[in-house]
A and B are shown apart, each in its own frame.
Chain A
């Protein structure tokens, strides 16, 4: 029978293999970023948790100002401040159990610190000391990642491996709005959804990728909407509302742990400082925009809530401030000492066993160091003689 003969009976049908893979509706983010502070939901929040979050926020803010001061003193090569984003950093660290893993980007020192890492160990990369100043396995914290979004597939692989081994471990991976344009972001989300890996992706949308604003970064309705295309839920949350962040990330972690698969969380926040000390933010954004965000400051939002509910007495306030100052003083003191580095370590950890090529180069450096030491010694004794 030809097509012409068939015409009368023709009915359009979908191609044989087609069927919807997932119902998109439950995956879609809410239209408004989820908030707790200043809403009815705040009444249900645990006062103990809120006080804890307050102390962490105050400490985190102080850490950011101290680290920024250290760049001005030449003690840090660079510091990408998370001032204004402390709620995201703190919530990300606090929703994890000890056995879980954190995959931070270069801006997430504060999350690493809140997870319990020593403040100096957290800063070795940024001070120009060894790239990772801690054992990732010991703390379940991946190295601070400088290339954008490349740590996201690592989080997926680790979570997948943990599940294969029968461990109920969750990986939480952090990335900025700019990082969502990278191919690795796409591949990580796709792998995670296909494998139903226990991963939480946290996008801190702070408005700018260095100087490029979000509308030059994406045409998506929101970054949280991207989740739908992978078949995972997307959640939109006020990133300056620490209680909301804690609740949403906590739910995503619980879902992952129970075998529910990955979640993409977009936190709407703002970077109050420049990208780093090397950047001039006045070139690409207006003061009134910054001022508006200053009124929506994460510490201020929680403080207002606590005061409103009579949960913030002078004693709590003073203790938080004193703890933060003690941390800053300790950090200042320890960072003001030059680290002791052994140049021979350059060759120690390239391979499990040094190649003959590296052994030759190590011998060369050792000879150079010995010659320099002898020269210094000779100069020192010559000085002594002329005295």
Chain B
């Protein structure tokens, strides 16, 4: 839990600022932490997350690399082999694909293939997801690809405090972490005091963002605020929805999720990546396996359509919004329907 000291005042901070602060604090605390990527130096990253790091720590600690994602991650592997803790930036979700081979063939399995002799503490920051009007290849939700690769942790914060706490935990982790930053939440604000003691919780715990009794919305990353909004709207229909923010897709917090669904008896998984072969299928299966006798209705999924990410003028039809979530909630009245 976050412990906030009484004295220092909190003020509004954006998620991007909290992420930058997490990088800065990690670098200040541990000289083996190095940031590298395209445009992370003078520009401060295209989303300004790395703003000021080169100035404070020098070009050797926060390095503008040649434009090559496989090279960025591949050299990070070698740096980690020599005892550094690289944090690499992939700039945009779909730009990370050239680095897939390095991620899957080396980063994810170096600990395993060397029987524990050579863990790779690498954090791969991937700004991900839609809703910011990005043109083609700037809005993919690629979490299912990462989730399907044993050896990787996959993390997605949804709040300003979690952006800080989870990024600190990811950098401190001795295992590789794919850190998914919801682009459309970069400018979301919260009262946050960076100078207060922060919680840096171990990766892998879900939290209940809003308690409820009628059904559970299971979600993460950019869909968390949408689900919270849907839960507010559902009150008018007499539904009291619980919202579980997964925060970490790998490892998956079966316990928190199952406990919630056992309480409510109904569940909807919400995410913006495509539904077919997506995270929702895995989550629904896990919930069904654990909660079958508590379920009053099938576990439903509200996901992006099974289409390549649409052009920005049409993305509002693709992204799961409040209405689509409420429609699914209505369908949870299974007895009445069948």
Contacts and interface: CB of A to CB of B under 8 A. Distances in A.
A191 interface: yes
B68 interface: yes
B68 A158 contact: no
Interface in A336-371: 345, 348-352, 355-357
Contacts of B335: none
A157 interface: yes
A237 interface: no
Interface in A137-178: 137-138, 142-143, 147, 150, 152-162, 164-165, 171
Contacts of B296: none
B68 A350 contact: no
A153 B74 contact: yes
Contacts of B84: 161, 164
Grouping DSSP codes into helix (H, G, I), strand (E, B) and loop, the A interface class, with mixed when no group exceeds half, is helix
A159 B70 CA distance: 17
Interface in B252-267: 252, 254-255
Given A150-B102, A183-B70, A157 B78 contact: yes
B251 interface: yes
B287 to A, nearest CB: 14
Nearest to B105: A147
Interface stretch (A67-75, A82-90, A128-136): A128-136
B174 interface: yes
B317 to A, nearest CB: 35
Contacts of A190: 66, 68, 71
A157 B75 contact: yes
Contacts of B68: 187, 190-191
Contacts of A351: 111, 151, 153, 175, 251
Contacts of B76: 157
A58 interface: no
A255 to B, nearest CB: 20
Interface residues of A, number: 42
Contacts of B52: none
A310 to B, nearest CB: 46
Interface string B166-182: 00000001110000000
Contacts of B86: 157
Contacts of B102: 150, 153, 184
B117 interface: yes
A355 B71 contact: no
A148 to B, nearest CB: 10
B99 to A, nearest CB: 10
B75 A349 contact: no
Q: With a 10 A CB-CB cut-off, give which of B65, B81, B105, B151 has the most chain A CB atoms.
A: B81
A190 B65 CA distance: 10
Contacts of A194: 66
Nearest to A356: B254
A157 B112 contact: no
Interface in A91-141: 130-132, 134-138
Q: With a 10 A CB-CB cut-off, give which of A134, A136, A158, A183 has the most chain B CB atoms.
A: A158
Interface in B78-103: 78-84, 86, 98, 101-102
A188 interface: yes
A137 B70 CA distance: 23
Contacts of B82: 157-158, 161-162, 165
B133 interface: no
A160 B114 contact: no
A33 B81 CA distance: 34
B32 to A, nearest CB: 9
B118 interface: yes
A355 B98 CA distance: 28
A142 B82 CA distance: 11
A162 B173 CA distance: 22
B150 A350 contact: yes
A154 B115 contact: no
Contacts of A143: 110, 113-114
A313 B198 CA distance: 74
Given A132-B114, A153-B74, A183-B70, A352 B79 contact: no
Interface string B13-37: 0000000000000000000001000
B133 to A, nearest CB: 31
A188 B71 contact: yes
A158 B105 contact: no
A136 B83 CA distance: 12
B75 A160 contact: yes
Contacts of B189: none
B184 interface: no
Given A154-B75, A157-B79, A161-B83, A357 B252 contact: yes
B79 A158 contact: yes
A153 B174 contact: no
Nearest to B118: A136
A153 B115 CA distance: 22
A130 B112 CA distance: 9
B165 interface: no
B175 A158 contact: no
A88 to B, nearest CB: 22
Contacts of B112: 131, 349-350
Nearest to A144: B113
A142 B86 CA distance: 18
A357 to B, nearest CB: 7
A332 B173 CA distance: 42
Contact of B118 (A135, A152, A187, A345): A135
B116 interface: yes
A142 B120 CA distance: 13
A352 B81 contact: no
B101 A156 contact: no
16 contacts: A130-B115, A143-B114, A150-B105, A153-B73, A153-B77, A153-B78, A155-B78, A157-B76, A161-B81, A171-B78, A184-B74, A187-B66, A351-B175, A352-B173, A355-B252, A356-B254
Interface of B: 34, 60, 65-66, 68, 70-71, 73-84, 86, 98, 101-102, 105-106, 110-119, 150-151, 153, 173-175, 204, 250-252, 254-255
Given A184-B101, A187-B66, 8 more contacts: A150-B106, A154-B74, A157-B82, A158-B82, A187-B71, A191-B66, A356-B254, A357-B252
Instruction: Report the 3 A-B pairs with minimum CB-CB distance, sorted nearest first.
Output: A157-B78, A153-B74, A187-B71
